[in-house]
Structures are given as C-alpha cells and as structure tokens.
Amino acid sequence: MITYALIFAIGCYALALLFNLYRVVKAPGVTDRVLALDTMAVNAIALLVLFGIWEGTAIFFEASILYAMTGFVATVAYAKFLLRGDIIE
Amino acid sequence: MELFWEIVISALLVIGGFFGLVGSFGLVKLPDPMTRLHAPTKAATLGVGATLIASMVWFGVYKDDLTLHELMITIFIFLTAPISAHFIAKANIFRDWKQDQLPPPAGNGNWAVHEVESDTSAEELQEAEVSQKS
Amino acid sequence: MIRKILPHPHLTLLLTLVWLLLANAYTINSLVFGLLMGLVIPWITAPYWPDRPIIRNLPKIIEYILIVFYDILVSNIVVARIVLFLPNSKLQPAWVTVPLDLHEPEAITVLAGTITMTPGTLTAEVSADGHSLLVHCLHAPDPDGVRDDIKARYEARLKEIFE
C-alpha cells in the first residue's frame, strides 16, 4: 500500500514541477517567475524526501536541508534585486 | 500495528501529494499576480509538511531510526514561507501598483514601498512613536 | 555584565538545541560545540538586535501556537477548495488595511507571519511608521469582517503575550 501511495505522491509532485516550469517559461510578469522558482524549490525538497523513502536511505536529508536554505536565500535575493536593483548595498 | 502505521503513512503521502499539486495548479489557474501568491504559500507548504512527516514516521517504523531532521525542515519551511511571500508581494506592489490603487494606511504616513528610504527597524519605530506623542 | 555575555538567552538555548538536532548525535561533544555556537552567534549579532523582547505568559504562547496550527489546516482546505472549484470570474480579491495596536517590532512580525499562514489572507506591506498592515484577501465578499476577525483572533492574544 505504501508503494502505491509513494508512486501517487511522486507523480503529483512531478506534475506540480511541470506546472511550475510552465509558469517560469510563460509568465505575464517577472514576480510570477520568482514565485514559480520559489515553489519549484519547495516541491524539489518534497521530491528529494520521497526519493529517500523509495531508496530507504537517510542520505537525502542533508541535501533537502541545503535545498531549503538556498531556495529561501535565492528568493530573497531575487526580490531584493527587483526592489532595489542591487542585492548587497 | 503494522497495518495501522501503513495506513497512517499512506494517508500522509496522499494528502501531501494532493496539496502540493493543488498549490502548483493554483499558480497556473488563478487570474492575477497577487492572487497567485496565495496558492503556493499555503497549499504547497502543507503538502511538503505532510510529506516530510510521512518520511519521519516511515523511518521511525521501518528503520528503527527516529530522527527529528524532517521536523526541522518542516519548521524551517513554515517559518520562511511567510517571509518569502512578503518579499514577493512587496516587489509586486513596487512594480505594478500605483499609490492611489491601494487603500491608505491608518494614521499618517505611507506604505513603506512608496517611501524613498524606509527600512522599518526598531529604532525608527521608536523615533516615530516619540515624534507622534510630542 | 550578564547582559553583555548573554544578549539573548532564549536564542542561545534555541541555537544549542538546533545544533544538537542537526548533528543528530546526542553526545557531550556536540553539546559543548552547540553551546559554543549558541554563545558566539548572539554575541556577534547583538548590535543588529539591540532590544530584548519581553515574553511572558507561557500557557498563552502554547494556546496561540495550537490555534495557529489549527488555522493553518483549515486555511489549506479553504484555499484548495477555492483553487479547485471556484471559477475565476466569481473570485473577489480585496485589499484590507489593518490598523495595529501592537508596538513591538517582534510582535508585528509574528502577527504578519500568522496572517500569511491563515485562511485566504496574505500580508503584503507594513506602513512606513509601523502602525498598519496591508493585507490581501484571496476571496473576501466582506473585507471589514476579515479585519475584525484578525484583530479579535490574533492581535488581542499577541498583545497579552508581548505587552
């Protein structure tokens, strides 16, 4: 039963990443692209964790912690760049 | 007992996948940039949280290796989601919204985006309060 | 003297705990290293955070956290229903101004984060003098009700915790 649930969840997140990718490629404004990239980072964390369950190793946690941190900093840097035209003043 | 944990983990995985998908679908479906901000910050956060907790329970039950790593990632995402949403909203207001399209703030002054040099910090808040009282 | 060495005792405790969880080894080694980080980091960052927030009323804090968690669950279901079943033409987004009674910057930050995580609302901006928040609602037929709800449900409780 867990295998089917796992396959369902991985399928959902793969589809979600495709939606995000569509939004990155075809967006009306630049803030939408930033938002789509932020959501992409969050979804990638979920995919990493699901793959960790699939493989049965705990080795992907470090990767997902790093992904969470860099994803957040990247979003803040994009937003700061849009606001001020500069990241470190 | 085995069956019980199996049902719990499967339910958490299905809920997580569903909400993650709904969050990203909202990103495509909703009509304008401010409403689009709502779907990923809420639905995606709960989806990822449920997935991470499913992983924590799975490692606790099947590997006898109960760690709190996933809980830390969950808390981190829950703490940072409002902050990145606030930053994106601020950038969006700065680019697309004129001052007279927004409702005015209570009291005097303006929204921080429309002030030239505004970094709302503790000292400045105190100064503003003192100058208001005097 | 103690204030100089320990500018933020709560932060020291939190950093030590986070280090222990990250290292995932509950030994005396990692405890000592975590304490070292917990002492050095608040000391280095003290100039950026001069005031020490006063927090009392622990039962109220726990009550607040439980309420917010419940609201996060409800908010996700509400937003998912709006995304899936409400056609775009019937959507009524609205801007709401929330005047603030809170004064501490930390309390305002917590309130802004709470508003973002709860049903259909999102904090977009704070006014330059820090006396009101600009909130965007995803679907609000009654904007004034949203404002009153935020003030009664969250702000009153935060006022009891921080002031």
Number of domains in chain A: 1
Q: What pLDDT is stored for residue A21 in this prediction?
A: 92
Question: Would you call A47 an interface residue with chain B, using a CB distance cutoff of 8 Å?
Answer: no
Give the helix/strand (H/E) hosting C134: strand C132-137
Question: Would you call C110 an interface residue with chain B, using a CB distance cutoff of 8 Å?
Answer: no
Residue C40, pLDDT above cutoff 80:
yes
For residues C141 and C92, give the distance between their C-alpha atoms in angstroms, rounded to a whole number: 6
- Contact at CB, C123 and B112, closer than 8 angstroms: no
Residue C21, pLDDT above cutoff 60:
yes
Torsion of CA B78, C141, C86, A15, to 10 degrees: -20
- pLDDT tens for A35-71 read 899 899 889 988 998 998 888 887 888 888 898 899 9
C124 residue type, one letter: A
B123 residue type, one letter: E
For residues C13 and C100, give the distance between their C-alpha atoms in angstroms, rounded to a whole number: 31
The number of CA neighbours under 13 Å toward the Cβ of C149 is 16
On chain A, the residues whose CB falls within 8 A of the CB of B45 are: 42
Per domain, the residue ranges of chain B are 2-100
- Point out which residues pair with C127 in neighbouring strands: B111
- pLDDT tens for C50-61 read 776 676 778 888
- Contact at CB, B35 and C138, closer than 8 angstroms: yes
Place of tokens 């600009």: C134
Counting one residue from A and one from B, how many pairs have CB atoms under 8 Å apart?
A: 159
Q: What pLDDT is stored for residue B121 in this prediction?
A: 47
For residues B112 and C145, give the distance between their C-alpha atoms in angstroms, rounded to a whole number: 25
- pLDDT tens for C99-141 read 888 777 778 888 888 888 877 788 888 877 777 888 888 887 7
- Cite the DSSP H helix spans in C24-155: 28-45, 58-85, 105-117, 143-150
Residue B34 in contact with residue C136, Cβ under 8 Å?
yes
On chain C, the residues whose CB falls within 8 A of the CB of B38 are: 79, 120, 122, 136, 138
Question: Would you call B68 an interface residue with chain C, using a CB distance cutoff of 8 Å?
Answer: yes
Question: Would you call C145 an interface residue with chain B, using a CB distance cutoff of 8 Å?
Answer: no
Which of A31-45, C21-35, C93-107, C139-153 is most confident? A31-45
3-class state of residue C132 by DSSP = strand
Residue among B78, C7, B32 at smallest CA distance from A45: B78
Confidence label for C11 from pLDDT (cuts 50, 70 and 90)? confident
Which of A68-72, C20-24, C25-29 is most confident? A68-72
Is residue A50 in some structural domain? yes
On chain B, the residues whose CB falls within 8 A of the CB of C70 are: none
3-class state of residue A86 by DSSP = coil
Distance from the Cα of residue C123 to its chain's centroid: 12
ipTM of predicted assembly, 2 dp: 0.85
Region of residue A62 (left: phi > 0; alpha: psi -120 to 50; beta: else): alpha
On chain B, the residues whose CB falls within 8 A of the CB of C128 are: 109-112, 114-115, 118, 120
Per domain, the residue ranges of chain C are 2-48, 58-162
Residue among A55, A75, A49 at smallest CA distance from B69: A49
Is residue A74 in some structural domain? yes
Region of residue C51 (left: phi > 0; alpha: psi -120 to 50; beta: else): beta
Is residue A56 in some structural domain? yes
Range of the domain at A38: 2-84
For residues C97 and C123, give the distance between their C-alpha atoms in angstroms, rounded to a whole number: 10
Main-chain dihedrals φ then ψ at residue C150, nearest 5 degrees: -60, -45
Residue C8 in contact with residue C49, Cβ under 8 Å?
yes
For residues B67 and C42, give the distance between their C-alpha atoms in angstroms, rounded to a whole number: 27
For residues C83 and B41, give the distance between their C-alpha atoms in angstroms, rounded to a whole number: 13
Give the distance from residue C122's alpha carbon to the nearest chain B alpha carbon, in angstroms. 7
B 47-66 residues with CB below 8 A of C?
A: none
